[in-house]
Structure 1
Amino acid sequence: MDNKLVYTVILCAVIFGSDETLLNVDLGEEFIFKRMSLKPLKDHLDLTFKTDAMGLRRDYETARIGENLDIICAFKSYTICLTEIEAEKYYKEMSDYVLTYLDDRIRAIRLFVEGPIHFKKLSIEMKSETLRSGETDMCSNINSVIPIGEAVGTSSISLFHCDNENINELNNNISSVKFPLSDVLLNNCHRYYDLSYHLDNFISITLLITSLEILFLNNENAKKEKLAKRCSIFLYDNRNDQVSCYKKLIIAYKKRSDFVHDGNCLQIINEDILFLRDCVRKSLIKYVNNNYRKSDVIKMLKTTIKNLDYWSDTRT
Structure 2
Amino acid sequence: MTHLKLLSAVAALAIMAGNASAQVKIAQDCPPDPETCGTYVWAHTFAEYLAENGIETEEFERGALGDEAELLDQVSSGLLEVSMSDLRSAGSLAPFIYGMNLPFLFASHAELDEAVERGNLMESINEGLTPNGVRVLALVANGSPAGIFNTKTAVNTIDDLADLRMRALDETQIRMYEAWGSTGTIVAWPEVPSALQTGVADGYLNAPVVPLMFGHDGFLKHFTDVRFSAPVRVALASEDWYQSLSDEERAIVAEGVAVSTAANREWVTGQDKVLEQLEAAGIAVVHLSDEERDRFAEASRPLYEGGLASPEDIAVWLEAAGVN
TM-based fold match above 0.5: no
The TM-score normalised by the length of structure 1 is 0.23
The TM-score normalised by the length of structure 2 is 0.23
